[in-house]
Structure 1
């Protein structure tokens, strides 16, 4: 429970989850539908008994109606907001509902307005963490209890009973249901994220790599720089396991992951895709990728006990589809094995052999390793 309570939420993860599944139009439609419902409810306030002076109440209603219409226009026609922007909008929605509650001259009508708090709450519970939903619930509860107290003190003969009943219903609808929903969603999201991560190294696993490619494909395809792929495989890792045992072997894998992460830099995506095999992706030129590969090789060769070395294959090319990534990856994999055949503890560099644009038009794989020679196989020595 403490871990759940300290969880800040992951707005971008939720948005990306919907986007990857083509559900953003449906999500927009849901938020817009809530805005339309709020606008219609606000419009009805012009025909209700409001607090005096009426001209001021009607001016406030008109302002609220304009904001409700603006909400609909913004969410439907403008780019999806950032976490901060959306948070401000949901907070303003809460404030607007509280103002609408206070405009009624009849306390029962005022209390009947408070279930509208469920609309922003339904969004906050998925996009933000438990503290955000707690703040929303506290604000809604104060508004509900204030309206209920107003009703209980009215001159209705059944005022107290009605106030208690209506307040309990409003609290259930707008507050009580959200914590268990948020907790359940957090469990599902956490399990989903954990399924994409290698527990030993805390790097992405093979499934995490596929998820990264699917979520970043638009960015990768629109880049003017080629996608560079490094395939890194430890040399003779089986001997380390046989001599030192699996516990030490796991420590070597974890150490190697940290060395690769540090050498690859903050912009790189690093994954562990096999027992002792790692993949690094980044957008950069092939010479820059070769320099990174040499840094990775040298970092792994650093004097540690037990000593480890690695063979690194490098390939690069423009990417327009997942199939083209697979071709670049296969090319880097082949060059890595070429480095192993040349003695290991070295890098091998390959490139795009054919024109990528022509390949996209024909649907064929355009990437194959260059013939390896002394110019593109290096063991780090001068």
Structure 2
């Protein structure tokens, strides 16, 4: 029992998984497949709801048929949005809330309690989606809402004109078990299975790669030929006077500053770049860019890293190592990246010695 309580406590403390899981999909080229799958499911539900209009236990009367038509249309539109628009956190939350409401209204449209309960089973798929993309708090709210709708859907089996307690308890119980077991077990198992991977490859505070994760994935970005039109850059970023921020404002503000810095780094990097947090306030980026664009990139980095209204005020010292010479057959990727890191690190310390809040670049 103690182990179960500890596992539930770990599950409850899980942060929102949207950025982490989306990055996981992007790293493996699965974003389009995910959008096609979820969009296809939403579109398919819209088609099913249209078919229910011709069922004897489907929507009856002008009002409920109008509700059915509105929901089925919304499902079809949601499917198209999934196919055509990029996945964002706002759309993901909108999809979850909209889906819960659509399922509840779809269940209300059916006149047979068993048909209503069957409709409620679809709550399980939304719970599974939340398990991958979001957090336990949203999951709990979803489950409470799904429970209330399921009880209302099967109410007539327990207290209606044709009460059948045995059937009602059995069907409501099976429906609730499906709604609860699939998402909760999925989210707990994901927490367990991803724990080692998160510890070994990802920084738990920012969701970026850690030093080991950067090393393991470096081959992917170094694989293309290196030349002046496609130079390899190693960028080292170190916050200026970060210890003072921790000492004066506390570690919570320090953590917020680290997270803010991680988000800002993503503003100027390409989607293919590797971004890692390799120390308390030190970040490393592996990026590919034309040699002629490095000066402009340095300006973009400076503009992106500093905010006029930051509280507490922060700045960063940045070193860039640039390689335009192709990799030789004798060079190992790790050795080449390590050499570039040393050059970039030296450039960063030069910027720091000169007062910080500067970018220094060196060509290898």
TM-score range with shorter-chain normalisation? Answer: 0.5 to 0.7
Which residue of the partner structure matches residue 68 of structure 1?
A: 75
Which residue of the partner structure matches residue 138 of structure 2?
A: 132
Report the secondary structure of 1:177's partner residue. Answer: helix
Which residue of the partner structure matches residue 128 of structure 2?
A: 122
Which residue of the partner structure matches residue 168 of structure 1?
A: 173
Separation in 2, partners of 1:104, 1:198 = 48
1:16-95 aligned at under 5 Å gives the runs 16-49=23-56, 54-79=61-86, 81-95=87-101
CA RMSD of aligned residues (A): 4.7
Which residue of the partner structure matches residue 193 of structure 1?
A: 198
| C-alpha deviation, 1:216, in angstroms | 12
Which residue of the partner structure matches residue 4 of structure 1?
A: 11
Separation in 1, partners of 2:345, 2:107 = 70
Q: How many residues align?
A: 284
* Closer/same/farther in 2, CA of residues 152 and 282 from structure 1, 3 Å limit: same
Which residue of the partner structure matches residue 185 of structure 2?
A: 180
Which residue of the partner structure matches residue 247 of structure 2?
A: none
CA deviation vs aligned residue, 1:68-102 (integer Å, no higher than 9, x gap): 110111111222x2122211111111111101111
| C-alpha deviation, 1:333, in angstroms | 5.7
Please list every run of 5 or more consecutive structure 1 residues that lacks an aligned counterpart in the other structure.
233-257, 293-311, 340-344, 352-368, 370-382
Q: Is the 8 A contact 2:222 2:232 kept in 1?
A: no
| C-alpha deviation, 1:125, in angstroms | 1.3
* Closer/same/farther in 2, CA of residues 349 and 168 from structure 1, 3 Å limit: closer
Report the secondary structure of 1:315's partner residue. Answer: strand
Report the secondary structure of 1:350's partner residue. Answer: strand
CA deviation vs aligned residue, 1:180-205 (integer Å, no higher than 9, x gap): 22111012223212102589xx9821
Separation in 2, partners of 1:148, 1:198 = 46
Separation in 2, partners of 1:43, 1:319 = 61
Report the secondary structure of 2:154's partner residue. Answer: helix
For normalisation by structure 2, the TM-score amounts to: 0.62
Separation in 1, partners of 2:159, 2:44 = 31
Separation in 2, partners of 1:121, 1:36 = 18
| C-alpha deviation, 1:156, in angstroms | 2.6
Separation in 2, partners of 1:113, 1:120 = 12
For normalisation by structure 1, the TM-score amounts to: 0.60
Please list every run of 5 or more consecutive structure 2 residues that lacks an aligned counterpart in the other structure.
1-7, 239-253, 266-274, 288-293, 303-317, 348-352, 355-359
Asked which structure has the greater RCO (Cα within 8 Å, sep 6+), the reply is: 2
Q: Is the 8 A contact 2:121 2:179 kept in 1?
A: yes
1:275-354 aligned at under 5 Å gives the runs 280-281=284-285, 285=295, 315-316=321-322, 329=337, 332=340, 350-351=362-363
CA deviation vs aligned residue, 1:206-264 (integer Å, no higher than 9, x gap): 3335448969999xxxx9998344599xxxxxxxxxxxxxxxxxxxxxxxxx9xx99xx
Q: Is the 8 A contact 2:211 2:276 kept in 1?
A: no
Which residue of the partner structure matches residue 379 of structure 1?
A: none
Q: 1:107 aligns with which of 104, 110, 113?
A: 113
Report the secondary structure of 2:157's partner residue. Answer: helix
| C-alpha deviation, 1:128, in angstroms | 1.0
Separation in 2, partners of 1:114, 1:70 = 21
